[in-house]
Amino acid sequence: MRYVMVEHAGRERPGVLDGDAIQLLAATDLTEAIVAGTSLTGERIPYDEGLLRAPLRRFRRDILCTGWNYWDHFEESKGKREGQDVDPPEHPTFFTKGPDVVIGPYDDITFDPALSAKWDYEAEVALVIGRTGKNIPVAEALDHVWGYLLANDVSQRDLQRAHGGQWLKGKSIDDTMPLGPWIVTADELGDPQDVRLQCLVNGELRQDASTRQMAFDVATLISELSFGMTLRPGDLLLTGTPSGIGNAREPQVFLQDGDVVVTRSDKLGELRNRVTKV
């Protein structure tokens, strides 16, 4: 199944895609639907991509993220981390983003050159936790996933380097992370290590990879993150970006006002966002 949030009758409503229609849910949002279960209202509206909003906005905590989870991405950035190079990590690298970064699948990415001179794209597969768990074994980790979706972890590289090596600030600028277009349930997606992920800027293919290239697979990420730390329904986890980022290119290339960024996957749909100066 594919779950969405749509604008309907003056407010956002959760629903399920059903062919060329959307079956609305009784819940107020998808976090509530994950926790309480999905109950249909019987109300159906025609599908129109212009109605789609970010599938998740109400989080219990900051957005959970994974860094350096494709070795080719880790290697491409060597010598370009402004003195913050490290050895290849033996365990997943986790950080968080503030929840106000989230925008819808076709919303504008808010661009403010006064904040940063180095705006970069990072196409990622994200997942939504569906069951509470702590110290989750790898063998049981995928049972805790409710579904998968796309994200673009738009980052400000100079801010990312400016705060002692901590990435929170350079990853938490408001209205910069497209999310969606829908959540594909885990049973429909199948193997999360068999997803193609791409990012295009103004029609130019910049990133092109398979989740099989991950340094640490999805089950390992969940298991390691839950070690001593409770994961709860509705938690959002980004799983890392592959090579091709603008900061690692020669010469470097960063996002500019008017650029159109497309994040797409063979199994998860497409995000399409214009970089727009405030």
How high is the mean pLDDT of the chain? 94
Neighbours of 37 (CB within 10 A): 10
Q: Is the pLDDT of residue 207 over 70?
A: yes
How far apart CA 43 and CA 63 sit, in angstroms, is 32
How far apart CA 264 and CA 268 sit, in angstroms, is 7
CATH number belonging to the domain at 56-277, selected among 3.30.210.10, 3.90.850.10, 3.40.50.11260, 3.40.190.10: 3.90.850.10
pTM of the model: 0.96
Instruction: Give 167 or 202, the one with higher predicted confidence.
Output: 202
Residues 6+ apart with CB under 8 A from 191: none
What residue spans define the domains of the chain? Answer: 2-52, 56-277
How far apart CA 160 and CA 77 sit, in angstroms, is 14
Q: Are 67 and 237 in contact (CB under 8 A)?
A: no
Distance from chain centroid for Cα 66: 10
Q: Is the pLDDT of residue 271 over 60?
A: yes
Sign of the CA dihedral running 208, 214, 218, 221: negative
**The amino acid at 256:** Q
How far apart CA 278 and CA 174 sit, in angstroms, is 12
The two structure tokens encoding residue 58: 């109400």
Q: Are 142 and 192 in contact (CB under 8 A)?
A: yes
- Average pLDDT on 68-73 reads 90
Least confident of 144-148, 152-156, 164-168: 164-168
Q: Are 143 and 131 in contact (CB under 8 A)?
A: yes
Strand 260-265 relative to strand 63-67, pairing? unpaired
